[in-house]
Amino acid sequence: MTAPEPASTAAGKPAAKPVVLTCAQPTGKLHLGNYLGAVINWGRMQDDYECHFGIVDWHAITMPYKPADLRANTYNCLAQYMACGLDPAKSHLFVQSHVIGHTELSWILGCICPMGWLERMTQFKDKSKKLESVGSGLFTYPVLMAADILLYNASVVPVGEDQKQHLELARDLAEKFNRTYSDTFVLPQPFIGKSGARIMSLQDPTSKMSKSDPNPAGVVYITDTPDIIRKKFRSAVTDSGSEVRAGDDKPGITNLLSILSGVTGRPVAALEADFDGANYGKFKDAVADAVIATLDPVRLRYESLVNDKAALEAVMKAGAEGAQRNANRTMSKVYRKTGFVERPR
């Protein structure tokens, strides 16, 4: 599904931009899969949509974590997103716990969410299997995600395949709330970017590039230096044969072609023609060069941002203020419709 066109009025005056929400947990370094599969598309939406980019720290505590890491990662995450092109002058870049409303709306939605809807969530089943003691926050986390989306009345939510079930829950909860308390929420639609390529591990091209890859050489981070990036591509697993072409029988070369296509914007077929007759070594070096050309400016921007805590805090403050204005509009409606007495000011 593609996102709805940004609206314009008959007089040619731009109407309010459609609202987009996208959230990421502050869990460490972004890798090339996050960049090509998600963040690059978010950056492209900023001119046409009113984007809300939330660093969802409430979500990050649903699994065991270290407080010092959470704090450091919240700063790092903001610096990485800004380095990737998310622009606080165009979009609301905020930390979830800085905006009042996420947990409040989550409680209200939780009270109309049947247990059975949550018991069906496959991500809960997968994550809870790995834990000795499962917190109830992990179980109700999809309700908090629904609250994140509905708090801003987002009509468009860029999601990966793994989050589609949670977005459906958000739609179901919005519908149920609207039925119970009268029309309040827009039903959010998934937006799966056109070039949201699935990037695979360089060491095992049959599994997704992921920070939990047991082999660190399989993952390229946006903060890797050119030398490290070149080394990782040189040691990338390739396939039998010597032809540079995509195909089910060539998962390694197919992955490298989709990475090259992602960073250059050229279609895979054109790249196959470019490398007709080239050997794997030459091809891998060319992919490394193209990835370095894309990621090195990102790394340099990140390095200049990450140590300036005061500047990052100023971005967080402005982002939270903008998001809070939008959240307040929704919450005053929600509280009125659900029968709460307005909070004394």
- Closest contact distance (angstroms) between CB of 84 and ligand AMP is 11
Q: How many residues make up the chain in this entry?
A: 345
Q: Applying CB under 6 A, which part among 104-112, 204-212, 250-258, 309-317 lies near ligand AMP?
A: 204-212
291 lines the binding site for ligand AMP (CB under 6 A): no
- Closest contact distance (angstroms) between CB of 195 and ligand AMP is 10
Choosing from 208, 231, 329, 333, the residue that interacts with ligand AMP (CB under 6 A) is: 208
Residue 33 vs 88, nearer CB to ligand AMP? 33
Cα separation, 222 vs 207, whole angstroms: 19
Residues 6+ apart with CB under 8 A from 65: none
The residue behind tokens 């929704």 is: 330
Q: Residue 107's closest CA among 165, 70, 147?
A: 147
Residue-wise DSSP of 246-298: --TT-HHHHHHHHHHHHHH---HHHHHHHTTT--HHHHHHHHHHHHHHHHHHH
262 lines the binding site for ligand AMP (CB under 6 A): no
CB distance 106 to 144 below 8 Å: yes
CA triplet 84, 87, 88: central angle to 5 degrees?
135
- Judged by CB under 6 A, how many residues of this single chain contact ligand AMP? 11
Choosing from 51, 138, 209, 236, the residue that interacts with ligand AMP (CB under 6 A) is: 209
- Closest contact distance (angstroms) between CB of 41 and ligand AMP is 9
- Closest contact distance (angstroms) between CB of 37 and ligand AMP is 2
| Residues labelled catalytic | 127, 208, 211
- Closest contact distance (angstroms) between CB of 283 and ligand AMP is 21
199 lines the binding site for ligand AMP (CB under 6 A): yes
Which residues, 16 to 45, sit near ligand AMP by CB under 6 A? 24, 33-34, 37-38
CB distance 192 to 1 below 8 Å: yes
Q: Residue 188's closest CA among 9, 59, 22, 56?
A: 22
Which residues, 157 to 176, sit near ligand AMP by CB under 6 A? 160
Can you give the binding site for ligand AMP, defined by CB under 6 A? 24, 33-34, 37-38, 160, 198-199, 208-210
